[in-house]
Amino acid sequence: ASGSIGQKRQLLLDCGEHLPALLSEAGFVDITKRTVKVRLGSAGGLKGVEAAACRSGAFRGMRDSVLLDGGYGVVNGPEEFDKLVSQVMAEWETNECYAFYYTITARRPALSPTAPPPSSLSMPETFGLAAKNHSVHHPLY
């Protein structure tokens, strides 16, 4: 199985980059995006250690899904997966690797009595993804 877990499972893994535009399309205003860059590993101090632990925990939490999808041509079993995550963590300690965290705020304007309701956007439609087993699309707000 090729591709990525994001493609296979229809995950928007870089939502921090796309969310401001989605909010704007949905009618939100006063949109701000604050980005915090954190160096992963001990060179990043306590925040770097915490960020590395959070990311490695997320990766380990995806292990069963990755293996069910065939390992994406990268790993063939749980031991290989765990070894890869450990290697990634070691790379974070020896190289300059960063995580980016976003705080995004927006305001929904008050609707006038005659204004039409804002358009309803759904993630699968917005990104051209085929919605599977979803008969209802909920708006972003």
Q: pLDDT tens, position by position, for the chain (141 residues)?
A: 457 788 888 888 888 999 999 999 999 999 999 999 999 999 999 999 999 999 999 999 999 999 999 999 999 999 999 999 999 999 999 999 999 999 999 999 887 666 566 665 555 555 554 444 444 444 433
CA–CA separation, 72 vs 92, rounded Å? 22
Q: What is the pLDDT of residue 134?
A: 42
Q: Which of 121, 128, 125, 118 is nearest to 27 (CA)?
A: 118
For residue 111, the model assigns a pLDDT of 73
pLDDT of residue 139: 41
35, exposed or middle or buried, with CB in 10 Å at 0-12, 13-18, 19+?
A: exposed
Please report which helix (H) or strand (E) contains residue 99, including its range.
Answer: strand 98-107
How big is the CA angle at 36 (ends 35 and 38), to the nearest 5 degrees? 145
What pLDDT, on the 0 to 100 scale, is given for residue 14?
87
pTM of the full structure: 0.68
Among 102, 98, 100, CA closest to 41: 98
